Every structure is written in C-alpha cells, then in structure tokens.
Structure 1
Amino acid sequence: MLCFLHTVLGIQTLCRRTSSVFQVLTDKLWQLYHSLNRRQFAQRLRRLMEWSRRTDNELPDKARQKLLTLPSKAESFKVHFDLPQAYRTSNQVDRLMNYQDRILYTMQYFHGTLDSTKQGLRAMALLWNFHPYTRKVQAIEPHSMSPFEDLNGFRYHDNWLHNFLIASSLNARGTGHKLRQN
C-alpha cells in the first residue's frame, strides 16, 4: 500500500508557485483520498486525469506529468479498500522512524557488534513504549499515560519509570497484572 500523503506532497511541491492551481489541485487530490470505495476512487481518479490533461488549468508541466502517473499506482492505493482498518498514510510510522533516526544519529549509528546494536534498538523501543504522553494528550485521554497503557489497558504504577521497571522485570510475570508482595 502506497502512502497517499507522500504522493500528494510530491505533487504539491511541483506547483507551489501557482497558488490558484495549488489549492484546486490539493482539493481534488484530497477528494480522491476520501473516496468511500474502489468504484468511487476509480471514478474520481478518471475525473482528475481528465482535468489534468486539459490545458486551460495552468498546471505546471512537471506536476501534470506526476499526476499522469497516478493511474499506474491506483492498484496500490486501492489496497486500502480491502483493509479498511489500515492507515492510508505513513505519517505515524514516520514519526517513530524519525525519532529512531535522530537517536541513531546521535549514537553515530552502529559501532560495535550486532548483539549490542539489537540491545540498543530494543532499549530504544522499550523507552518509547513507556514514555509518558504530553500533558495535552493526557488531558484529552485522562485514563491513558503511555503507549504501553493504551496497548494493555492498565498500568502497574502511576510513575512512568516505576511502570517501566516493573513491566520490564520478571516481577509481574504470571500474576495477571498484579504485583507480588514480598
């Protein structure tokens, strides 16, 4: 499945200088994105192709050429209709990958063994799963403190570090999600 957002951004960059065309094109692309089914998507794509072939729309040639490649990618975009729960854009993954890339850059990427690399990436993933959400997100979702809590539906402790330490230890293993009293 291709990321529709990156396709739109790629086309938009080619016509930023002509603001009137930019807005019309953006509206047409997002209308295509919001199609309800394969048939409507195909119909909207055909209308977009008809519009892009017209010469009276002041569309820059490079943007027109990029638009004309959309039908060849249509099947990759239509996969979404078979998987309605799937995301159509990759921005959520991009956020995690950007974070990971920044961390790896500051670590000067991989200097050491494959085992130490795996351990470093695992530690990064664990910290990401337990880091507390910002106050703004916590205000919207007061019951949710972290990705771990969203996934599991509970937390061991109100302090994120205690929650992380308990969950990553074997202390809570096999007891549901209650701590053993020593």
Structure 2
Amino acid sequence: MSAPLVMGAPPIRIVRRTWDEEWVTVSCTGCGRRDQWPQPELGCPCGALLRIPVRPATAGTRCDAVNAAALYLREIGFPEVLRSGERPETGVDLRGPGIVALVDLGARPADSRAVECLWLNALTESAVSAYFSLAGYVDEARERADTLGVPLFLLDPAGVPRPVNGPAAELDRSHA
C-alpha cells in the first residue's frame, strides 16, 4: 500500500506530536479498503522529525469510481472482472465470469429502467448483476431492484461501495 504524495508540497517539521496527527485515512491501491495508516515520517540526522505530505485517495474522477467498483468486485470473489467494450448511456459496463455490473456515472439518481436493463443483461449471461451509482437511486429503482434481486451499491465520495439494498448486502456477505 502506498499513499499518493502531494507533489510540490514541502515536508512539515513536527514540533509537538499528537495522536490525531499521526494517522491519515487513505484507500489501499490493492484492495480498495479505506482505513487509517501511520502518517509517513522521516527522521533527520539532526534529530528533527519531518512529516511527508500525502493525500487521501478519493473517487474524484469517473475513472476512480470505475476502478473502485472493479476492485470491490475482485475483492468479493470476481477476480477476472474487466471493463467491457459495451458503452451504456450513463456509465461503464464491467464484466467477468459470473458477473455483469454497471457503474453509473450520471449526476441523477438511477431509475427503474436502468436497473431492469442491467438485470436483463445479466440474465442473458446467466450471471449475477451489480449496480454501482454515484448519485443514488429513485424509490422505484430500489423497489424494482428488490423485486428482481439486483444488488444496488452507492459509491461514497471516497470511492467505497456501500450496499443500499438487501441483495447488495447478501452479495457482500456471501463472497466475503
């Protein structure tokens, strides 16, 4: 795991250490897990302690959101998931053996039509489906997903997929 450096930022000399200042929250680039890690520091031969500036990894771009969803799917048991050549209207299609997923990058909450389209795609592939959204879901989409058994996940600002409905929580538990 390596935290991304803040390019151009100088190291900060530490005068007084406190517990809160010794940890930084970042996402692991290997598995996507968001956790606290010790703040990187260097000791100078003169005795000064320097803190190296790092920034938390977030789902700040569309690419970050797609990568977070793909990492999550790999972590829960779909190691061969890749971005497919398909281009849905609002997002990115991820596929692998046994899984068809959509990462919805739209600014509006997903509707029931989008959920149904994903469900049909997964049905034709005899695969599990998973829907990841940055903007959430309208009530009808949640209801339809529950009826069809489509797992819905919300990608939080840090890029961490959060189960939104029962099928998503089940998928998360069954492959953990």
TM-score over 0.5 for the pair: no
Question: If you compute each CA radius of gyration, which structure gives the higher value, 1 or 2?
Answer: 1
Relative to its length, the structure with more helix (as a share) is: 1
TM-score, with structure 1 as normaliser: 0.25
Q: Between Structure 1 and Structure 2, which shows a larger proportion of strand residues?
A: 2
